[in-house]
Amino acid sequence: MSLADGPDAGWIAAWAACEQRPDADEHARVVLARIEPATAYARAAGDLGVGLAVCERGWAGLFCVATAPGARRRGIAGHVVHALTTWAVGHGARHLYLQVDSANAPAHALYERAGFTRSHGYHYRAAPR
């Protein structure tokens, strides 16, 4: 597991592959590059998993946690979450939160095993095409 303080080309490529995101480069340039608080970008060996933690004012948010489609259900995401949590605690986080798609049952199971409980819901709005 490697951790970096920014989204290098290797992390972005791994995230694009894991999430099957063709817009990863643009998203990294437009959104991720604007994050100001301390960050950790985790990348599992073989680029099989990724994740991002952002730490600020005693809280850490976990984002972009994803596993390569052919490597799911092997514990990789759990290792990513553990690495990011350890980093966050080392950077002063006393509380953790994350966002996960309500339909992603395997992710919900992972986060429940890690001790997370549901707090709030959210949804995305998109303009008509």
Answer whether residue 129 is part of any domain.
no
Domain-located, residue 120? no
Q: Tell me if 125 is assigned to some domain.
A: no
The parent domain of residue 22 ranges over: 2-113
- Residues 105-117 have pLDDT tens digits of 989 999 999 999 9
95 within a domain of the structure (yes/no): yes
Q: Total domain count for the chain?
A: 1
Percent of the chain residues topping a pLDDT of 70: 100
SS (H, E, C) the chain: CEEECCCCHHHHHHHHHHHCCCCHHHHHHHCHHHCCCEEEEEECHHHCEEEEEEEECCEEEEEEEEECHHHCCCCHHHHHHHHHHHHHHHCCCCEEEECCCCCCHHHHHHHHHCCCCCCCCCCCCCCCC
Between 97 and 101, whose confidence is greater? 97
pLDDT tens digits along 46-99: 999 999 999 999 999 999 999 999 999 999 999 999 999 999 999 999 999 998
pLDDT at 123 over 80: no
- Average per-residue pLDDT in the chain? 91
CATH classification at residue 17: 3.40.630.30
